[in-house]
Amino acid sequence: MPNALLLASARSEKLRDLITAVPVTRGVVDRFVAGENLEAAVRAVRELTGDGLKVTLDHLGEDTTDRAQADATRDAYLALFAAFAEHGLTEDAEASVKLSAVGQFLPGGEAIALDNARAIAAAAERLGMTITLDMEDHTTVDSTLGILAELRRDFPRTGVAIQAMLRRTEGDLKDLTGEGSRVRLVKGAYAEPASVAFQSRHDVDKAYVRALRILMEGDGHPMVGSHDPRIIEIALDLAHRNGREPGGYEFQMLYGIRAAEQRRLAAEGQAMRVYVPYGGDWYGYFMRRLAERPANLVFFLRSFLNR
Ligand code: FDA
């Protein structure tokens, strides 16, 4: 499972300052992040959609403790959608939103995050697009699901990420399998205590399959957020058994991870969506990607030492 020390580092201000100051980091970050600005995001989306992939855009940032920053994140999404409209990119695009980036942790934060997320969802809907709420650590799940329920009153296609590693997930899914409910199932990228989350890779994988079965048997739109070849095989099998055609579910993978597999699935006619992060605040996202795979850390440290 993700390396706990690296995940703890994802929230260290000191380490953030150190790592982001070193130019060589940029080269490694580029593998996982489309770029720092809107133009880079549009360029990446053009390229991916040109290859038959769908996209979900994440304006990087999280744990905002500043109201102006929360509102600026909302505005960044609005600018992104305007750029999509201008460049004719709305058809295969949606956005992923972290509620902590739009104010969830501020005093009175749930109302602020809801207002900001509502503005983003409304702008998306005007262009025929939708949004999906990312899921952050387990302390935020109740709040995120509450905000999701509010958003879905007006924007029923709003999606949510659900983490298989959390023990509560099967219970949560019971309320999330209704018609059209868009749920992105992921293993979970945060360090969580054993009291709330399965700890071993094997237990998380088993929990993922149980949750996936619930989603595939339900009436919603399952979004299989995994790069794991065994999970992908099982998803294809479950979709087939439940009479789901490609498009009645979708695969999702992260930008820069198993890119050839993304294109292979799309070429086979599967709906394949790539999660594309962009923006300057890439530190927390980048550290979670390092934590998921020791080889990434070795690669990063080597570039660091050879600079
Ligand atoms: P696993 O970790 O077992 O990896 C399977 C294989 O994929 C590896 O063997 C390797 O080949 C490749 N791989 C996986 N991670 C890699 C990496 N970092 N670098 C290089 N190769 C890698 N989590 C969360 O808590 N909240 C969220 O909202 C989201 N959102 C989200 C969206 C999308 C579209 C995806 C794909 C994932 C997320 N996640 C997430 C992250 C998720 O929880 C999980 O940490 C990663 O997807 C890794 O788990 P896998 O299912 O890929 O399996």
Q: State the CATH number of the domain containing residue 42.
A: 3.20.20.220
pTM of the predicted structure, to 2 decimals: 0.95
Q: Give the atom of ligand 1 at the shortest distance from the alpha carbon of 225.
A: 36
The answer to whether residue 306 is domain-embedded is no
Examine the residue annotation and report whether 184 is marked as an active-site residue of this protein: yes
Residue 5 belongs to some domain of the structure: no
pLDDT higher than 80, residue 258: yes
The CA 265 to ligand 1 mean position distance, Å, reads: 17
Centroid of ligand 1 to alpha carbon of 182 (angstroms): 19
Average pLDDT score, the chain = 93
Q: Does the CB atom of residue 293 touch ligand 1 within 6 A? A: yes
User: Percent of the chain scored above 70 by pLDDT?
Assistant: 97
pLDDT at residue 24 in the model: 57
Q: For this structure, is 30 an active site residue?
A: no
The answer to whether position 298 is within a domain reads: no
Q: How many domains does the chain have?
A: 1
In tens, the pLDDT along 34-46 reads: 999 999 999 999 9
Q: What are phi and psi of 241, to 5 degrees?
A: -60, -30
Question: What domain range is 259 assigned to?
Answer: 34-173+184-281
H/E segment holding residue 9: helix 4-9
- Report yes or no on 293 lying in a domain: no
Residue 275 maps to a domain: yes
Work out the burial of residue 66: count CB atoms within 10 Å of its CB; fewer than 13 is exposed, 13-18 middle, 19 or more buried.
exposed
**202 in a structural domain:** yes
Burial zone of 243 (CB within 10 Å; 0-12 exposed, 13-18 middle, 19+ buried): exposed
Q: Is residue 204 part of a domain?
A: yes
d(CA 294, ligand 1 centre) in Å: 13
Task: Answer yes or no: is 229 within a domain.
Answer: yes
Could you identify the residue written with the tokens 């050839």? 260
Mean pLDDT of 20-25: 69
Beta-ladder partners of 102: none
Mutate to test the pocket of ligand 1, among 137, 187, 230 (most ligand atoms within 8 A of CB): 187
Is pLDDT larger for residue 294 or for residue 152?
152
